[in-house]
Structure 1
Amino acid sequence: MNSQITKTTFCILAGLGLILGLTVHIISLLGIYIGDSIPFVWMLHLGIFVVWVPAVLLLKDNPELQQLNASKNKNPLKFYGILFKNAPKPVMVISLFFFAYAMINFFLFMQSGGGGVPSIIDGKYVINNHGNIIKELTEAEFFKMKANEIRGFSGHWIAFYSLSMGILWPKAQVNNSSNKVA
């Protein structure tokens, strides 16, 4: 199979994952928990690996990255230029924005967890930390915390899907129609 077609396929899958992850993230920011009504939402977590592994493998043998790693000048702009060599500038900017956003989102998610995870124990909604009940919750608080849990994960989903999409962006086709013989 043509490697350009394969790269394009994985780029499209990454773009689809990005759109779905962003949709889930926005819904969870609204405090809506969709994990029970749409259980396949957690497949987005596995989908990261479907696109991230090819992106990493593509970069593994990249001679430009190897040369940059060997040099003493570790210029981040050059690094990102190599990562997103084929991607349009807006894709690079969006990917880097989502990467930074994921770090901030994760920090906020960790701060809002209350020291544990929302669970149902003995029919009660609680915050649980390794079997220790920290706090009892109302049903509304429980589902808000479950939405927050998905928000924590989906922030990473959008970062990894967007980075994968930018790395896997297919090389622009050069139109050589002027060189054709009639």
Structure 2
Amino acid sequence: MNGLMASIAAIGLALSLVVHGASLFGVDVMSLVPYVWALHVGVFIVFAPAVIFARKRFGARPALADLRQAFPGWVQVLAAVFFAYALINFYASFVSMDGAPAIKAGQYVLENHGRIVRALSSAEYTSLRAQVIRGFSGHWMFFYFVGFAYFAFCGNGEPLNGSVRNKAM
């Protein structure tokens, strides 16, 4: 099962990287691949079980030393990079937006909570849709990576060193 979950997470990570890369070049992935949002659902398929099993293995509040012992150094570095990138990317993608791109009455518009902020050109609409998917795909990369790392390196679920440090969940 660990191999299957690690494989699903690796595929999700690879697809998230492709989607993110395309969005960086201004590609409206949502129009080209309508089911791209399945990656959003897929995150929960690998991340939630990783968290549940990690709590069993490491306890509710694992010591940093235990986590460092369980994962190779490159995994720790990559997890930190993905985490930092997800935060910076999310901020860069959404803070400057005054709304979400939409089509209303056949016209491209920027909409904020049902209120039309302004009309958009076709190019602006495409760019903003790419910006939206870029904001989400940055998070997808992090969560898929964490799922992959857990199931690839310590997914057996056995408590670390035969005991769980913080048994309370």
For the aligned pair, the TM-score class normalised by the smaller chain equals 0.7 to 0.9
SS of structure 1 residue aligned to 2:118: strand
Q: Equivalent residues in 2 for 1:144-163 (5 A)? A: 144-163=127-146
Residue in 1 aligned with 2:91? 107
Q: CA deviation at 1:158?
A: 0.1
Runs of 4 or more consecutive aligned structure 1 residues displaced over 3 Å after TM superposition: none
Q: Does 1:98 align with 2:82?
A: yes
Question: How far apart, in 2, do the equivalents of 1:109 and 1:36 lie?
Answer: 18
After superposition, what is the alpha-carbon deviation per residue over 1:98-147, rounded to whole angstroms, capped at 9, x for unaligned? Answer: 1111011111112231x210011111111101121111110010011001
Match for residue 52 of structure 1? 47
Instruction: Report the Cα offset of residue 79 of structure 1.
Output: 5.7
Specify every segment of 5 or more residues in structure 2 that has no aligned partner in the other structure, as ranges. Answer: 155-169
Larger Rg over CA atoms: 1
Report how many residues are paired: 155
Q: Judging changes above 3 Å, is the alpha-carbon distance between structure 1 residues 65 and 99 closer, same or farther for their aligned structure 2 residues?
A: same
- Checking the alignment, whether the CA contact within 8 Å between 1:14 and 1:164 is kept in structure 2 is yes
Structure 1 residues 19-168: aligned runs within 5 Å = 19-62=14-57, 64-66=58-60, 69=61, 77-78=64-65, 80-81=67-68, 85=70, 87-113=71-97, 115-168=98-151
| Residues 19-64 of structure 1, C-alpha deviations (whole Å, 9 max, x = no match) | 11011001001111121221121111111011012101111212x4
Question: Alpha-carbon deviations, 1:148-171, whole Å to 9, x = none?
Answer: 110011001001001111111245
Identical counterparts, % of pairs: 38
**3-state SS of the aligned residue for 1:128?**
strand
SS at match of 1:169: helix
Q: Kindly report the root-mean-square deviation, in angstroms, between the aligned alpha carbons of the 2 structures.
A: 1.9
Give me the whole-angstrom Cα distance separating, in 1, the residues matched to 2:124 and 2:40: 24
Q: Distance in 2 between matches of 1:14 and 1:108?
A: 26
Q: 1-side partners of 2:66 and 2:140: how far apart?
A: 22
**Secondary structure of 1:158's partner?**
helix
Deviations 1:76-96 (A, max 9, x none): x426426xx1x4322221122
Give, in whole Å, the separation in 2 of the partners of 1:79 and 1:19: 28
**Is the 8 Å Cα contact of residues 96 and 163 (structure 1) preserved in structure 2?**
no
TM value normalised by structure 1: 0.78
Looking at structure 2, the residues matched to 98 and 34 of structure 1 have their Cα atoms a distance apart, in angstroms, of: 21
- Given that 1:48 and 1:161 are in contact with CA atoms closer than 8 Å, whether structure 2 keeps it comes out as yes
